[in-house]
Structure 1
Amino acid sequence: MALLRRIEPVIVLEQLGNTLFETALQMVVKDRSVNASYPGMSPEDSRQKAITDFYMIYNLVVRFTPILPALLLARLSDRGWRKAPIVAPLSGYLLSRLALLLVVVSGLPVTVMFGGAFVFGLSGGFGAFWPGVMTVVSLGSTGTDRSKAMMVVELLYGMAGLVGSLVSGHLFLLYTSSLGHGSILLIVSTLLHLLCLLLAVFLLQVKEVGSREPQEDGCLLSPASVDAPVVEAAVGINKVNVALLFAAAFLYDFAVGGAVEILGAFVLKEPLSWTAAQVGYGNAAGCGIFLTSFLGVIAFRRWVSDVDLILIGMLSFASGIFFMSFVTATWMFYLARSLTLFALIPMPTIRSLLSQQVPSASCGTFLTFLQLTLKVAGLAYIPAFTKIYQGTLDWLPGFVFMLASMFTTLGMIPISIISWRMPQRQRYERVPGD
């Protein structure tokens, strides 16, 4: 019962249901795009255009709609309603899964999911849910352990996605004569989201670490800076470092989000032409990066700073996604994925650094602002990467992955500036402490 009152079961159930839904949506969109035809385009290119156009609109709705609701939920969180940004989005998750189930069972057009995405966005969406989760984790951990605590959450999230992805493709193939392919998969997904919502409403408890150190409310970039809590409290928030963290997060999310946006359609086209089971395995490979990134944090954090961890993760993704540009076989896809084994280190580490540079009373708001910054990145990369991909299908479909690698490299610049600023700042803070 004590375990059920923690945030971890909510995260696991949500991600299990979400991975089942993502595979179902991907395969339903593929099936509904089989007969797509555009003037001057081959049947294969027409299918790719139909799939990417659907996801472009769908993801724009998912990312744009939650902006105001997420801000409202963040304010409620910082006023004491810590469960609000978790419970409200979970309601939206449940309704959007029911919408896709209705599309499959009733044979409605897949464009109905635009409405489901809108409802999901009004509930706050992932832009409210994940900052809400991270706020709960931040309040329940000390500054020195926060990076590790956040990576544990990311690990659980990834492992749940790994399990869900492995079984999703096989569940999609199960059907009854009256319901059709994907119905059983979506029923399981809906039940998981319902259970997750009930757990969050009735059992989840939010606990704050009783003895929060005063320096945790200041701007902490590494354990070495704990020697000067008084100076930190007087100086306040380091706006330059906060701005650099936001810039790095924007550029990295622009690269990762743009690549992942296209990757789902890329594996469905020739020469890969993946089946539902292969799609599930591919998604599982992506979720496996949560485990390798967590192990990377555990292994590297003894010798390098959080800033160096971010740079390692960015370099890992840049190399792997560049190799993805030339993938023509399934084994090459998994080889490219193996190069990105530390790609999930940067974002939770950036969140950890950010949460340590603001007062605890504003933690939820700042984390939500960061998440909304990533939403703005989505509004830019979704149409940009989609149109570039459609325009390069004939000569190099993987060109967008080269662009993603380039933007990742640009994202390393503000992090490198923070690394350059750290020694000078720490020396300045230690003088009054002595």
Structure 2
Amino acid sequence: MKGLYFVEPIVAVYAFASFLLYPLVQQYVYRRLWQEITNTTYPVSDSSSQCGTNNSNHSNLHEEVQKAASLFSMYSDLSSMIPSLLVTLMLVTYSDRRGRKVTIVLPLVGSLVYCLSFLAVSLLELNLYLLIVASFVSALFGGVSTILGGCFSYVADRCESSEQKTLRMAGVDMVIGLLSGVALLSSGYFLRATGFNWPFFTSAVFQLFNLLYALFVLEESRVADGGTTGAGGVVRRLTFGIYELFARGGRKRTRLVVLLIATFCSFSFTNFGSLSVITLYELNEPLCWSEILVGYGSALSTAVFVTSFAGVAVLSRCLPNLVVVLIGMLSVCVSMVMMAFAKTTLMMFLVRLPMLLAIMPFPVLRSMMSKVVSKSEQGALFACLAFSENLSTNVASATFNTIYASTVAWFPGFSFLLAAGLCLIPLTLLGALRLFRLEDGCGTEGLLAEEEIPEPGSAPVA
């Protein structure tokens, strides 16, 4: 049977399974810590708010559990960061020579291990800190950055025109948002109806089917060469691929690639760092959201993937790429300022409205970077991008969780104001990109045409 050249089903199922798990993990940890710290069962009611009697003792308990949950999230992120970074850099770069499927299959194995670990801890009521060990082990197979780096490289292999590449990359982002939104919307009802065990089991089943599709249905987009496959060969190819990316294209291209990666990662730091504490903010007073409202809020947040895809499809036809990116960055900045002062359920839903175009910068910047390098360097490019993005998002999550734990007692919204202020960094880099392109008098397509070099696959690897 002939296979398919579509990674979108993998991204869709991966997004659904992961985002079905993600908010439940935070709530599971929160409830377990509540039981351990207060020696009481977590208060569950049918109302939209979980806040009990508004006395000082109750508020102190909430603050203590909030701090513990925030620090637990930081430890979990840090435990998975280093192995995931190294595996992402190696696998996605090496995929330029050995094919893209390895960057997709191994992270799916890690995700399956992660889901099964949570199921075991929940089902058998094992020590909560075993989840940190599970995060570390699953990261040895790569993580979300690895699979997305592989998928975006796969898309770049299959697309010829720049417009097709931009729209298909935006489409991958849209698929992530659409399916993750469905998962987040249903997670609260699933939790209330069945408890934690069945959602964890369901997520594991979806990851298993995804792994089977990647192994037996998905066709490889690049033919593996016959070079060295030992450990030494992997390291040499990794080093050579990254060296080619930054050394063979000339100083002008190198500066542009570095500036684009810096803009991408600084915006990713701000955006995903602030998003990492939203669930804790919603569980805290005065909101005290139930699992149903957490699911609604998370689903509404992921709707930005769909609206951002529509924004890219429409705005990229009539506006320059950098202006599209600027609109997306301002969307995040405004929504963070509003979220810092949101004290009611209605306001927390309304702050999602300015965020509707927040994802637009990511596919546009990816497409701009992809057009600057040759086809044989796509893996090296997306490996560096995934490495940098993974580093920035993990550091951002740890940083924002630490700041939230330190400021929750006097101003829980401080993290969101900080995120709005940090938006100035990618905005400044965006201005530098504009000046760079004006000075050179060419866009990314012109730069590639000017510095196009032969495919390195035709030359032996030293």
TM-score, shorter chain, exceeding 0.5: yes
Distance 1:115 1:234 in 2: 42
Distance 1:328 1:386 in 2: 20
1:7 counterpart residue number: 7
Matches within 5 A, 1:312-391: 312-391=327-406
Which consecutive unaligned segments of at least 5 residues does structure 2 have? 39-56, 223-247, 451-462
Q: Deviation of residue 14 (structure 1)?
A: 0.8
2:178 counterpart residue number: 159
Contact 1:6 1:206 in 2 (8 A): no
Contact 2:5 2:221 in 1 (8 A): no
Structure 2 residue 288 is the aligned partner of structure 1 residue 270: no
TM-score, normalization: structure 1?
A: 0.87
2:190 counterpart residue number: 171
Q: Deviation of residue 2 (structure 1)?
A: 7.8
Distance 2:349 2:83 in 1: 34
Count the aligned residue pairs: 403
Aligned pair in 2 of structure 1 residues 18, 326: CA closer, same or farther (>3 Å)? same
Q: Over the residues paired in the alignment, what is the CA RMSD in angstroms?
A: 2.4
Contact 1:314 1:409 in 2 (8 A): no
Contact 2:259 2:429 in 1 (8 A): yes
Which consecutive unaligned segments of at least 5 residues does structure 1 have? 176-180, 209-232
Contact 2:90 2:383 in 1 (8 A): no
Match of 1:79, SS state, is helix
Distance 1:385 1:194 in 2: 33
Structure 2 residue 81 is the aligned partner of structure 1 residue 67: no
Match of 2:423, SS state, is helix
1:213 counterpart residue number: none
Q: Deviation of residue 427 (structure 1)?
A: 5.6
Distance 1:48 1:73 in 2: 37
- 1:318-353 alpha-carbon deviations (Å, 9 max, x no partner): 110111100111111111111111110112211111
Structure 2 residue 437 is the aligned partner of structure 1 residue 418: no
1:215 counterpart residue number: none
Distance 1:359 1:427 in 2: 17
Distance 1:193 1:401 in 2: 33
Structure 2 residue 118 is the aligned partner of structure 1 residue 104: no
Distance 2:394 2:120 in 1: 28
Which of 146, 163, 170 is 2:165 aligned to?
Answer: 146
Aligned pair in 2 of structure 1 residues 234, 4: CA closer, same or farther (>3 Å)? closer
Range with bigger deviation, 73-82 or 279-288: 73-82
Contact 1:158 1:287 in 2 (8 A): yes
1:34 counterpart residue number: 34
Distance 1:266 1:4 in 2: 43
Q: Deviation of residue 194 (structure 1)?
A: 0.4
Structure 2 residue 207 is the aligned partner of structure 1 residue 193: yes
Structure 2 residue 130 is the aligned partner of structure 1 residue 115: no
Structure 2 residue 150 is the aligned partner of structure 1 residue 136: no
Which of 88, 96, 99 is 1:81 aligned to?
Answer: 99
Q: Deviation of residue 374 (structure 1)?
A: 2.0
Which structure has more relative contact order (CA 8 Å, sep 6+)? It is 2
TM-score, normalization: structure 2?
A: 0.82
Percent identity, aligned pairs only, is: 27
Distance 2:387 2:339 in 1: 28
Aligned pair in 2 of structure 1 residues 295, 276: CA closer, same or farther (>3 Å)? same
Contact 2:181 2:298 in 1 (8 A): yes
Match of 1:123, SS state, is coil
- 1:115-169 alpha-carbon deviations (Å, 9 max, x no partner): 1101111001112111001001111112422111100111111111111111111
